[in-house]
Structure 1
Amino acid sequence: MYKKVLATVAVAALSTLGLSAPTADASHSWNNYHWARTSNPFNLKLGDNVDSRWDSYLGTTSADWSASTVLDTTIVAGSTTGRKCAATLGRVEVCNAAYGQRGWLGIASINISGSHITQGTVKLNDTYFDTAKYNTPAWRNVVSCQEVGHTLGLDHQDEDFNNADLGTCMDYSNNPEPNQHPNTHDYQMLESIYSHTDSTSTVGAAAPTSSTTRVGNTPKAWGHRVDGSR
């Protein structure tokens, strides 16, 4: 089945929402979602739909994830607008706009066919990044890094805001400074996720590889959403 699932970096505290915080997870694959490909390393295109305030951070994010042994990312011209942020088959579109006070700094969306990712989007919410609290290099790095990480098939390493910082952008923390980039465990997790190869590829695909059904962008369709304080 072809459906849409989302992951967020959110703003409201877990304790405020009355939710229990999960403990750190040694395996942080996101439900085994992965890009189908016939060999490693594969090259995933990141469509640049961000403005000049975000260009350098997208560059850092691309370089960080390209340090993996199983994949590379390449920044290419975007095919949508920041506000619309429409997905393109076979790649990830990265966008920024003032999306409103929705409780998230960034949100990653992927479409899947079975466990295979077919396309993805990343939205970076300028409603918050235009404020003094979040308009810092550290906040921009950690959110850009984490949301692109989700589109590769990674979940969070830890969702407890009170735990010690793990030194990875895939950590939930109130302190972005030590968590701006992936860490060794993120790269190891990618090696595990992509340790097999597939008979087909969804990377750069121009059309779905099979008959698909799409579940839309509604709360009922969300496979993963985390609310927590950054």
Structure 2
Amino acid sequence: MLRRTRTAIGLAVTALVVALSAPAVQADTAAPSGPASDRAGADDAVYVVQPRSDGTTYTAIYEPAPGVTADELRSTLRRQGVRGVQDESSALGIGIAGCSPIVGTASAWCGHKWAYGPFNDPQVYFLDHSGDSWPVTDARVDWYQAPGIDAYYRWHTAGCPGGGRHCVHVYSGNYGTAWYGLTEASTSGGYFVDGSVTVKLNDQVTPNTYAARRSVACHEMGHALGLDHNGSTNSCLSVPEFPQHPSSDDFAVLNQLYPKPGT
């Protein structure tokens, strides 16, 4: 009943916001620039890149579990048959990690952003398939406050609203002991492909506390909006600390990644 109540409230608020904003049609802006010469912060994550025959590229970011190094996670993924696992130097070289805009310790995920569609800000809906121990709706509240992009929550049975709005599916489960969280997507021309972006939250290794699970959810949802890691432990996009909220630097990157029309 609580899920349904939250969903109903979320849908009502969403409808009100869309009705009041009356956005004009806006052409998409250019994709973000190439990899920055300096990383915003230390990054122990593992990146996967798989070019596909249809011209899209599958990419994923894995966050190593406690006690697992990035090299150990790479070895595990390769043993599991995952193709395109990148060494740190190759991820930087092909422009996957740590791209501009960079603000302080925060940076964008290279070549991963949402199209505006018929709105002044991209509209992204997180469709929640996760278990009750994951406060996805609370983590989404932080990202709704971010400038440049609008993030909404829906229980997954409500479906994706369409009409130029984008959706990210959020799952939880027992995914082994090698990683905390995973964000995966297909991109084309520097933009996320609709229907391809998925977040997976690992029940098996994430402590079953509100703080830890909100932090991991916040972290992966930040990737799904176009952010890379943040070198500051004041941000939920840090690795492997458990801060529960984004930082002002994360918001500043999103503000530059999604500038207002005409600016």
Name the TM-score, length of structure 2 as normaliser: 0.58
Which one-letter code corresponds to 1:170 in the other structure? Answer: L
- The aligned counterpart of 1:46 is 126
The answer to whether 1:7 aligns with 2:61 is yes
- The aligned counterpart of 1:67 is 145
Q: What RMSD in Å do the two structures reach over aligned CA positions?
A: 2.9
- The aligned counterpart of 1:143 is 216
User: Is the 1:8–1:147 Cα contact (8 Å) retained in structure 2?
Assistant: no
Match of 1:172, SS state, is coil
After the TM superposition, which residues 29-178 of structure 1 pair with which residues of structure 2 at under 5 Å, given as runs? 29-38=108-117, 39-54=119-134, 57-78=135-156, 90-101=166-177, 103-118=178-193, 119-129=196-206, 134-158=207-231, 165-173=232-240, 175-176=241-242
1:74-133: CA deviations, max 9, x gaps? Answer: 222326xxxxxxxxx9310000111122x111100111111011231000111113xxxx
Quick one: structure 1 residues 16 and 77, their matched pair in 2 at CA, closer, same or farther if it must change by over 3 Å? closer
| Displacement of 1:20 | 7.9
Tell me, which stretches of 5 or more residues in structure 2 are unaligned?
Answer: 1-54, 75-86, 93-97, 158-164
| Alpha-carbon distance in structure 2 between the residues aligned to 1:45 and 1:190 | 16
| Alpha-carbon distance in structure 1 between the residues aligned to 2:197 and 2:120 | 20
Quick one: structure 1 residues 114 and 141, their matched pair in 2 at CA, closer, same or farther if it must change by over 3 Å? same
- The aligned counterpart of 2:82 is none
| Displacement of 1:168 | 0.3
Which one-letter code corresponds to 2:191 in the other structure? Answer: H
Quick one: structure 1 residues 113 and 180, their matched pair in 2 at CA, closer, same or farther if it must change by over 3 Å? same
Q: Which runs of 4+ in 1 moved over 6 A?
A: 15-22
Which of the pair has more CA radius of gyration? 2
| Alpha-carbon distance in structure 1 between the residues aligned to 2:254 and 2:173 | 29
User: Is the 1:9–1:143 Cα contact (8 Å) retained in structure 2?
Assistant: no
- The aligned counterpart of 1:186 is 250
Instruction: Quote the sequence identity (%).
Output: 26
| Displacement of 1:3 | 2.0
User: Is the 1:34–1:117 Cα contact (8 Å) retained in structure 2?
Assistant: yes
Quick one: structure 1 residues 99 and 20, their matched pair in 2 at CA, closer, same or farther if it must change by over 3 Å? closer
- The aligned counterpart of 1:28 is 107
User: Is the 2:116–2:123 Cα contact (8 Å) retained in structure 1?
Assistant: no
| Alpha-carbon distance in structure 2 between the residues aligned to 1:98 and 1:180 | 22
* Count of residue pairs brought into register by the alignment: 173
Higher relative contact order (CA 8 A, sep 6+): 1
Match of 2:120, SS state, is coil
| Alpha-carbon distance in structure 2 between the residues aligned to 1:186 and 1:143 | 15
| Alpha-carbon distance in structure 1 between the residues aligned to 2:73 and 2:146 | 36
User: Is the 1:64–1:181 Cα contact (8 Å) retained in structure 2?
Assistant: yes
Match of 2:211, SS state, is helix
Quick one: structure 1 residues 139 and 196, their matched pair in 2 at CA, closer, same or farther if it must change by over 3 Å? same
Which one-letter code corresponds to 2:250 in the other structure? Answer: D
Between stretches 183-192 and 89-98, larger displacement belongs to: 89-98
1:164-203: CA deviations, max 9, x gaps? Answer: x530011113x42xx2110100000001111266xxxxxx
Tell me, which stretches of 5 or more residues in structure 1 are unaligned?
Answer: 80-88, 159-164, 198-230
User: Between Structure 1 and Structure 2, which shows a larger proportion of helix residues?
Assistant: 2
